[in-house]
Structure 1
Amino acid sequence: MTVENLKPRLALRVGVTGHRQGRLDEADTGAIRSQIQNVLSRTAAVCENLARTNTCYDDQPPLLYFVSPVADGTDAMAAEVALELGYKLLVPLPFSAAKVAQSFPDATRPRFDRLIARADSVLELVPHASDGQAEDEAYLEAGLATLRHADVMISVWDGEAARGLGGTEMIVEAARDDGVPVVWIPLKTPDDVVILDGADRTPYSDDGYEALLDALLVLQTDGQASPDAADRFSSFLQEEKGGGWTPSFHSFVDKVLVGKWGKSRQHKPSAADNSLPHKDTEKTGAAAMVDHRYQHADEAAVRYGNVYRSSYYSNYFLSAAAVFLALLEVGLGMGKTLWISLELAVIVVILMTTVRGRKGRWHEKWLDYRQLTESLRRYVSVFAAGGALPFAHDEGHDRQRSGETDWTRWYFRATVRELGMTGASLTPAFKRDLIQEVIDKEIRPQIDYHTRNESNKHHLGHRLHKLGEYAFYGTLAVCVGYLLLVVLSKQEWAHWAYELKKAVKGWVTVLTGFLPAFGAALFGIRVQGELGAIAKRSASMASELRQTEAALQRLLEQDDPDVGDMRRLIVRATSIALSENAGWRSVYQYKPLDLPG
């Protein structure tokens, strides 16, 4: 798995929303077409320059997508311009292509047919809408699907309120709410182009537009190109496949204490296992690309998770061992130099492990790679449903809550952009197959994992707590026993007590020093692992996932599952899983590998 294979190809998706042909006839269509061409040409030039100069991307030319429902008017005109400039056309349709074609006048139907024939991907959202309201909702869904798959929107709009469901104004406002920048070409004054970016509204300029694209495509921290984030991404690319031997001391200790020797690792099928029903070409293309990156991230996450956990387990146990070795000469009455030498060796091992862990960023890499792994794997189901994750465009989201860091967010979104859009007809059979796959391959394995994890973490925490208590009770017993021997040794009839006191005196010192240190080590492991918090979180996750499964099962009972409800529930299931990752990230991010104390 080479570095170049893991680097994303620079990709950008430009969507369009605008008025139908009847409204365009009132405007200067030549000027509008020219402005669309200018924006798309500028987009291509910026992307080509970045693809050549930005080392975070591979060496291929940029992958430029244009997303358009190709309705007669703005959509079709813009799609033609994009194809002329070398863009790949992605077409989300409200109905089946045949049904949409029937809505075109005879004069313009050949234009629609030509665009569909040249499309790289066609997504039929509501193939069998049968009444007026359903058809209006389908048109809205097509507009929102365009938005979901766009990084930048071009809008040809008169600035007035929408005249119906799914109108241009509704899509523009939805884009601004989602943080998707809009290049607005006013219908009546097409030379006065404006960039709408959230609440901001600025006149269009090439420099301003280039800065906007840089913000989307360049790996940045707080709005600036980030060498540090780029270094972390480069480090990820250089991770060796397999990575050699990975210590699992923590796993061994956990299994000894919990008494369960079966597999405890979370169910993690490959991304390609989330196949896209009836679309083998999509599975081997989109899902295989995601799977390639997923496998690399997953292997590295497992490796660094094992190293980090095993290291803090060993540090705590070795610190107790160092105390034992320091006191051993008192118990044995000999070998002081040997025991001190061994204690020194143990301390050196603790220090070297901690320093290596800090310099190697084991803790940080584990958290980053795990977040990336889960984002990549779970996106495949959302992609198959023609959807997007809720934070896909929200640059202002709370990163601490989401668990993303700059480079993982950038890499995930670069992968999403590269995927483009699934090509499928969301027929009832397709939707039922997809829902069943999400239940079988995502939700149920996650419920099983969290149920098992809650039990394991609860028992592990309980047993570490009990063992720690036993260590302190043992110390108390040794102290009380020795004091009894002291009292008894003063009695003439208890000469044996005097001899026993002399014999065990050194070992009393050893035990009263070592047992509290051992108990503190067990307590440290329990606190560092936040076992109680993790158990409670797993219980909460299992409950939320069961509710989502029940909602999906109810959806399966419908003859034709509602596409909006399906997508919402699939995104909900994905968001639950990602929030779980964000939850344990918030628990562990302030617990780097450190010296016991």
Structure 2
Amino acid sequence: MEPMVEQLKGPYIAPRLTLRVGVTGHRPHKLEGVDTSRLHARASEVLHYLSSVTRSLQEKNDALGGAAPFSPESPDLRLATSIAEGADQIVTDAAVDAGYNLNLILPFPRASYAQDFEGAALEKFQRTFDHNAVQSCTELDLGDMPDGRNDGYLAAGHLMLAHSDVLVAIWDQKAADGLGGSAEIVNDARQRGIITVLITLEGELKLWKVPDTAVDLLEDGEWQALNLSSEATPVSLALAEQIEEHLALPEQVYSAHDTPSFAAGLRRFKGEKFHPHCWAFGYNLLRWAFLPERRFSLQVDNGLTRECQQAWIETHQAAENIGGATFRNHLDLHLRARWLGADNLAIHYSHLFRSAYIANFTLAAVAVLVGLLAVFFWESKAAKAICVLVELIIIGTILMTTWLGHRGQWRDRWLDYRSLAEALRPARLPLLMGSSPIRPSNNIGGTPTQTWIAWYVRASLRGITPPTAVIDQCALQAAIDVTLSEEIDSQLSYHRENAGLLHLLDHRLERAAEVALWATIASGTVYLLAFALYVQGWQLAADFYKPLATLLGATLPVVGAAIFGIRATGDFRSSAQQSLRMVSELEQLARSLKARRGSPDRQSVRRLLGQVSLTLSDDLRIWRLIYSERELTPGF
């Protein structure tokens, strides 16, 4: 097992409580005559309030002891900023004073961006990069763009929003007068559902509030006056509630009466351990019996060692090329390690659930066979007693397996951990181009309907900082290459093989059931022939075949029913058809990415990577829908 995995206590890695704040606002020419010291004071007030709310969440978390979902580390407070003159610098200075870390997001390479500064402002700009608060510095290099430098400002604004849970805007509330201006960024933030706090040029605070019944985030919301300097007000409490909903688990997790969908699932995950191997070999035995060239072993290898050694090799190389060993190790710890744990658990519980239902249906048929064997020993009470005892033991085994499966929630664990793994794995793609795959949890003004899976994914991804790197065409090409090789190509290979194998498995199981049916018919026909011979005086034929006909006539239909039960629960045909659909969609995405690779632009690549994630998400949703209705039953 890889040293990294051996050092972990288990698959669950407690995320660090992190709050990401972004800033946008006007440049100095729009702040002429404005009391900037007042704006600084208001920004400081907002940032300290956000810090206070986050730290109170940490205290609430720490009070839970071993049940705490977050790590005991102090919260990581960050500001994503372009450090432009004016609003950005005002909020950045306030953030440093308030103890925030800085994620610098520059619209151009540092030397080019320096052209925006002169004199003392330029000196301050240069000093910023050596400040202890700087956590990362991401420089965009878009090359030649139609709208020149405005494209860079807009791209940096969008990237800043991707790394923000809260936006602080110093804005005059007027319409945009240029590409990438404050108005455009504020509107984008509100449409994304990002918590938005406005500092007017007069120094007033406002919170964008959307009612629960809102249909349009921009049209139906309103700015409400925010007062953070006095006792709690409805609006300040609303801001605190929005932050808590955005960062923390729903309230049920902290209550004494937890619901299974939230607290129980998370607590179960926290108690899991790694499973390099599994003794549930039923599914592998079925595949070995009905599929060509399948190896079989009583001990199932869950692939943990193989995945530790081979998974994400190109991702590691691309991450190192983009942001050095620091960025590579950062992704390894915060993303790959979590994916390895979820993937291992998904494989383990899939073998448990699948092997359990295969065993139940098979043992049900065997129980009937053993019970009917008594007809061969009709004169021996001891033999009949042994047959009955064995039959009862088999039935007890079936019931015990079913009880253990339901009690251990093997199916639900399989579905949950596979959903978690499939949510974490594609998240690496936007991270390679400096972005973040997190989407705001806020519904349109309402309470977010989160599961523990969604919370864990968001909390884990929030801990990943932007890379210290220049994101240029080479970085975009690297993101495309990783998407093609480790995401699309691997998924294409899996789905092509999966479609063929599952179609063949379903077909052969169907043929086996047909054989059982025709064997039943043949057995009945032979019995009628033996009866005809008996009528003609052939007593020996009837004496010999009557018990055998009884055995075959009762057992063969049960065998056919068991095979049908395995097919129905496994639903191999639907899974094969879904894999074929995925092959078609992934091939189209691969063609689009290859066509864009020669001259990638940030917007197109981001859109295509989003389509890849959406396609994989849809596949997961359909897969979960297929298996969520498949219960573990006794098989009779």
TM (normalized to structure 1)? 0.92
Who is 2:397 aligned against? 349
Deviation at 1:192, TM superposition (A): 4.0
Change (3 A) 1:217 1:565: same
- The alignment partner of 1:274 has SS state of helix
Who is 1:569 aligned against? 608
Which one of the candidate residues 457, 470, 476 is aligned to 2:515?
470
Residue 273 of structure 2 corresponds to residue 252 of structure 1: no
Who is 1:31 aligned against? 38
Who is 2:229 aligned against? none
Who is 1:169 aligned against? 183
Who is 1:231 aligned against? 264
- Deviations 1:483-534 (CA, angstroms, capped at 9, x unpaired): 1222233236xx3xx4222211112111111111111111111111111111
For the 8 Å contact 2:569–2:630, the answer to whether it is kept is yes
Which one of the candidate residues 500, 504, 509 is aligned to 1:459?
504
For the 8 Å contact 1:541–1:580, the answer to whether it is kept is yes
Who is 1:42 aligned against? 49
Aligned amino acid, residue 362 of structure 1? W
Change (3 A) 1:223 1:246: closer
Which one of the candidate residues 70, 82, 88 is aligned to 2:101?
88
Q: Partners of 2:555 and 2:290 in 1: how far apart?
A: 20
Q: Partners of 1:350 and 1:43 in 2: how far apart?
A: 55
Residue 196 of structure 2 corresponds to residue 186 of structure 1: no
Deviation at 1:535, TM superposition (A): 0.6
Residue 575 of structure 2 corresponds to residue 534 of structure 1: yes
- Deviations 1:398-451 (CA, angstroms, capped at 9, x unpaired): xxxxxx961111011001111122222122223223322221222111111110
- Deviations 1:68-120 (CA, angstroms, capped at 9, x unpaired): 11221111211111112111111222211111111223341122223333331
**What are the equivalent positions in structure 2 for 1:332-371 lying under 5 Å apart?**
332-333=377-378, 334=380, 335-371=383-419
Aligned amino acid, residue 150 of structure 1? S
Residue 110 of structure 2 corresponds to residue 97 of structure 1: yes
Q: Which consecutive unaligned segments of at least 5 residues does structure 1 have?
A: 398-403
Who is 2:247 aligned against? 217
Q: Partners of 1:594 and 1:295 in 2: how far apart?
A: 30
Change (3 A) 1:20 1:371: same
Change (3 A) 1:372 1:328: same
Aligned amino acid, residue 546 of structure 1? E
Who is 1:14 aligned against? 21
Q: Which consecutive unaligned segments of at least 5 residues does structure 2 have?
A: 1-7, 62-67, 211-216, 227-234
Who is 1:401 aligned against? none
Deviation at 1:332, TM superposition (A): 4.0
Q: Partners of 1:302 and 1:100 in 2: how far apart?
A: 49
- Deviations 1:192-236 (CA, angstroms, capped at 9, x unpaired): 422345444344333222111110122117999783423321221
Who is 2:565 aligned against? 524
Q: Percent identity?
A: 29
Change (3 A) 1:427 1:262: farther
**What are the equivalent positions in structure 2 for 1:542-553 lying under 5 Å apart?**
542-553=583-594
Q: Partners of 1:218 and 1:527 in 2: how far apart?
A: 40
Which one of the candidate residues 331, 341, 346 is aligned to 1:296?
341
| Number of residue pairs the alignment of both structures matches | 582
Q: Structure 1 stretch 82-91 or stretch 563-572: which is displaced more?
A: 563-572
Which one of the candidate residues 84, 96, 100 is aligned to 1:71?
84
- The alignment partner of 2:280 has SS state of coil
Q: Structure 1 stretch 450-459 or stretch 524-533: which is displaced more?
A: 524-533
Deviation at 1:36, TM superposition (A): 1.4
For the 8 Å contact 1:271–1:290, the answer to whether it is kept is no
The CA RMSD over aligned residues, in Å, is 2.5
Change (3 A) 1:324 1:96: same
Q: Partners of 2:201 and 2:574 in 1: how far apart?
A: 56
Deviation at 1:139, TM superposition (A): 1.5
Q: Structure 1 stretch 4-13 or stretch 81-90: which is displaced more?
A: 4-13
Change (3 A) 1:74 1:592: farther
Q: Partners of 2:578 and 2:569 in 1: how far apart?
A: 16
For the 8 Å contact 2:169–2:196, the answer to whether it is kept is yes
Q: Partners of 1:87 and 1:4 in 2: how far apart?
A: 30
Q: Partners of 2:157 and 2:511 in 1: how far apart?
A: 59
Who is 2:482 aligned against? 437
Q: Partners of 2:518 and 2:320 in 1: how far apart?
A: 61
Q: Partners of 2:352 and 2:368 in 1: how far apart?
A: 24
TM (normalized to structure 2)? 0.86
For the 8 Å contact 1:195–1:203, the answer to whether it is kept is no
